[in-house]
Amino acid sequence: MTDGDAAEAEAAPRIEADGDADVSARAKPLPRQLPIVRDESNLIPARMVNEVLYCERLMYLERVQGEWGENEFTVDGQGVHRKVNEEGKPLRQTGEATADDERREKDDSEPYVARSVWLSSEKLGITAKLDLVEVDGGAVVPVEYKRGSKPDMPEGAYLPELAQVCAQVLLLREHGYSCDHGEIYYAKDRRRVPIAINDSLIARTLEAVVRIRELCAEGVLPPPLDDSPKCNGCSLVGICLPDETRALANVPVDVPDVDDDPVFELGEDPWGLGGGLERPVRRLFPARDDKLPVYVQAQGAMVRLDGERLIVQSSGETAKETRLSNTSHLALFGNVHVTTPVIRRLMDRGIPLLFFTYGGWFTGQTTSHDSKNVELRLAQYAATQDKNRCLVLARGFVASKILNCRTLLRRNHVNPDPVALSELKHLTRKARHADNIETLLGIEGTAARRYFGEFAGMLKGDAIEAFDLDGRNRRPPRDPINALLSFCYSLLAKEVSMAVRAVGLDGMLGFYHQPHFGRPSLALDLMEEFRPVLADSTVIGALNNGVIQSSDFIRAAGSVALTQPARKRLILNFERRMDQLVTHPVFDYRISYRRVLEVQARLLSRLLLGEIAHYPEFRVR
């Protein structure tokens, strides 16, 4: 909160009394014994009245599915509300008598301000936390704080804000107060605007309450707005995906067969959406996240908290630090100590804490409460019990993976074998028509053997002589390339697991990878098509550019592992790949690969909730 914001917040609750005295600092309880009821599930918050009039889908996402997102506008709004949301003295309950009642009655005759007043009414079915209530004798005025500027309109505010203030006025009247109007304080203008309460506005407000109850009872997520400017600046736009959902909802149920796909040779979007939409899909969310991950792999290192900074101390080394506000997640390898205050602060901030074995195997993560979107998890559980739906999704995952492997060979192989490319194309067709998961597993295995048989041909320069690959092997990897692949696959599993959990899906319950103890099956499903694009390409780039040398490996007991310095360099290369901007093959806008993972996970959730008919595969061109 800047000094200017603080000055605006302080200037807002000013009461013009005798002598123009500023009594804003005297935060006192209201003079009546009000029943303070916190937000009960059967009561509608006044904030939701605002949102249902602004966008019914926004209201449903927050109220029913429990979604929430931050952006610059919500953070700015929190700064504006920080001062006004300070708790005042507790309100007296009915029948509460004290020895200083006479003094209270005298004080109540003077104008004063009460902050953060929470009122509820069973009769109205509304609850609200009023930013500020001004009391002057028998009259009260609620003041709602808004971060922006006053709109240029005679009413002083748009309908959603008018209805929110009206709901507050109705609550005050329900509790016996004389309240003829409300006010909105616009922090940017440092200006207060009176809001008239008339019968028309009251009727519209009560209708909005009824509409909220109807939407909640229906249990169906309202459709997104159609090319609406309201989506610009909405904090939930990255969760809602309005344009993407609308575009995919218009895809015909009968998907064209790959044999008839005119662009199949290039591995492009089978739905024909990329670049061919009547109206372009807007990218309404940031292309990449400016926050960076923190990896700690020094054994015996300690991670502790110092204010808003993470301090990493290793034996014999200078302590390193990073700001929490710049941290996307914290990844620990092996025996790294982390203090309880660090864990608590990370959970409060929604920053995942991820754990790997010393060898690089991803074991799990610690976050705050799981997503509140119960509807999505129920839909996922139901879908996993439908063998046909599982098979349809699994076909897409495997076919897309094979095509991306084929594209990687065409891009990087010095002289790709036409027979190998033809076989991979044929296996893709077979995957599209597989009768069951077991057959699909066999097709994937055959494609993997053919692909990795050509893998060494993508190496260039000194890497050709220094490295060789004799098929895929793991647990433990027996050659340097397999050691690199296994480590990058572990890093990718971490990234997809975070995306899946952020969306609200159960990462342990997959469609292609069947449930198995301790295995993040859904994360493995979604990462299939990204293995060649993100992990394999990272390995090829690291070897061809000399980032990894033959001396960077430890060989023991028939297994091969990376040294710690080499692993650090490989992590850096992987992170650069994740941060790289790429044109989405379906929506034709540029976003980072890390953002792509989240978009794909959210589109899967839209499929499970019945908003779109097909999962849009991510196929590189």
**Distance between first and last Cα of the chain:** 46
pLDDT of residue 52: 94
Which band of pLDDT confidence, cut at 50, 70 and 90, is reported for residue 471? low
pLDDT of residue 341: 93
Q: Are residues 488 and 564 in the same domain?
A: yes
Q: What is the pLDDT of residues 504-514, one digit of tens each?
A: 998 889 999 87
Q: What is the pLDDT of residues 559-616, one digit of tens each?
A: 888 888 899 999 999 999 999 999 998 888 999 999 999 999 999 999 999 999 889 8
Q: What is the pLDDT of residues 138-180, one digit of tens each?
A: 788 999 888 888 888 888 899 999 999 999 999 999 888 889 9
d(CA 620, CA 540): 17
Dihedral sign from CA coordinates of 264, 268, 270, 274: negative
Token pair 């610059």: residue:
72
Phi/psi of residue 2, nearest 5 degrees: -80, 170
Look at 462 and 266; give whichever has higher pLDDT.
462
pLDDT of residue 55: 94
- Residue 343 pLDDT greater than 70, yes or no: yes
Q: Are residues 345 and 476 in the same domain?
A: no
pLDDT of residue 18: 33
As a whole number, mean pLDDT of residues 445-459 equals: 89
Token pair 């690089």: residue:
360
pLDDT of residue 3: 44
Q: Indicate whether 330 belongs to any domain.
A: yes
Q: Indicate whether 234 belongs to any domain.
A: no
Q: Indicate whether 432 belongs to any domain.
A: yes
Q: Indicate whether 254 belongs to any domain.
A: no
Q: Indicate whether 95 belongs to any domain.
A: yes
User: Tokens representing 509?
Assistant: 């319950």
Q: Are residues 348 and 386 in the same domain?
A: no
Look at 352 and 42; give whichever has higher pLDDT.
352
Look at 254 and 192; give whichever has higher pLDDT.
192
Provide the H-helix boundaries in 219-359.
237-240, 242-249, 340-349
Which band of pLDDT confidence, cut at 50, 70 and 90, is reported for residue 9? very low
Three-state secondary-structure class, residue 487: helix
Pairing of the two strands 327-333 and 292-296:
parallel
Cis ω before 256 (30° cut-off from 0): no
pLDDT of residue 80: 64
pLDDT of residue 85: 64
pLDDT of residue 294: 93
pLDDT of residue 269: 45
Three-state secondary-structure class, residue 31: coil
Q: Are residues 336 and 385 in the same domain?
A: no
User: Tokens representing 214?
Assistant: 């109807």
pTM of the model: 0.82
Q: Are residues 532 and 420 in the same domain?
A: yes
Q: Are residues 330 and 428 in the same domain?
A: no
Percent of the chain with pLDDT over 70: 81
Q: What is the pLDDT of residues 38-64, one digit of tens each?
A: 444 589 999 999 999 999 999 999 998
Give long-range contacts, CB 8 A cutoff, 24+ apart: 128-132: 128/45, 128/46, 128/47, 128/167, 128/168, 128/171, 129/45, 130/168, 130/171, 130/172, 131/81, 131/84, 131/85, 132/12, 132/13, 132/84
Q: Indicate whether 197 belongs to any domain.
A: yes
Q: Mark which of 339, 366, 393 sits at the end of a domain.
A: 366
Q: Mark which of 316, 338, 366 sits at the end of a domain.
A: 366
- Residue 68 pLDDT greater than 90, yes or no: no
pLDDT of residue 264: 43
- Residue 222 pLDDT greater than 90, yes or no: yes
Which band of pLDDT confidence, cut at 50, 70 and 90, is reported for residue 1? very low
What CATH number does residue 362 fall under?
Answer: 3.100.10.20
Q: Are residues 516 and 427 in the same domain?
A: yes
Q: What is the pLDDT of residues 191-203, one digit of tens each?
A: 889 999 999 999 9
Q: Indicate whether 239 belongs to any domain.
A: no
Q: Are residues 491 and 408 in the same domain?
A: yes
Q: What is the pLDDT of residues 270-307, one digit of tens each?
A: 544 444 455 678 898 889 888 899 999 889 999 999 98
Percent of the chain with pLDDT over 90: 46
Element of type H or E holding 57: helix 56-63
- 477 close to 559: Cβ distance less than 8 angstroms: yes
Pairing of the two strands 292-296 and 302-306:
unpaired
Q: Domain tally for the chain?
A: 3
Which band of pLDDT confidence, cut at 50, 70 and 90, is reported for residue 66? confident
- Residue 481 pLDDT greater than 50, yes or no: yes
> What string of DSSP letters covers 86-116?
S--SPPPPTT---TTHHHHHHHHTS-EEEEE
In terms of Cα–Cα distance, which of 364, 332, 329 is closest to 347?
Answer: 329
What CATH number does residue 496 fall under?
Answer: 1.20.120.920
As a whole number, mean pLDDT of residues 472-495 equals: 85
Whole-number average pLDDT of the chain: 82
Look at 85 and 497; give whichever has higher pLDDT.
497
In terms of Cα–Cα distance, which of 47, 51, 63, 44 is closest to 125?
Answer: 44
Three-state secondary-structure class, residue 573: helix
Q: Indicate whether 589 belongs to any domain.
A: yes
- Residue 104 pLDDT greater than 70, yes or no: no
pLDDT of residue 108: 53
pLDDT of residue 353: 93
pLDDT of residue 69: 81
d(CA 594, CA 502): 13
Domain of residue 326, residue span:
292-366
Q: What is the pLDDT of residues 414-433, one digit of tens each?
A: 888 899 999 999 999 999 99
Phi/psi of residue 442, nearest 5 degrees: -65, -40
Q: Are residues 78 and 48 in the same domain?
A: yes
What CATH number does residue 132 fall under?
Answer: 3.90.320
Q: Are residues 407 and 347 in the same domain?
A: no
Neighbours of 36 (CB within 10 A): 12
Q: Are residues 179 and 309 in the same domain?
A: no
Element of type H or E holding 174: helix 159-174
Q: Are residues 182 and 313 in the same domain?
A: no
pLDDT of residue 359: 82
- Residue 363 pLDDT greater than 60, yes or no: yes
In terms of Cα–Cα distance, which of 246, 113, 253 is closest to 185?
Answer: 113
Exposed/middle/buried for 86, CB within 10 Å: 0-12, 13-18, 19+? exposed
- Residue 134 pLDDT greater than 90, yes or no: no
Provide the H-helix boundaries in 350-417.
374-384, 387-412
pLDDT of residue 214: 93
Q: Mark which of 344, 366, 388 sits at the end of a domain.
A: 366
Neighbours of 315 (CB within 10 A): 9
pLDDT of residue 34: 39
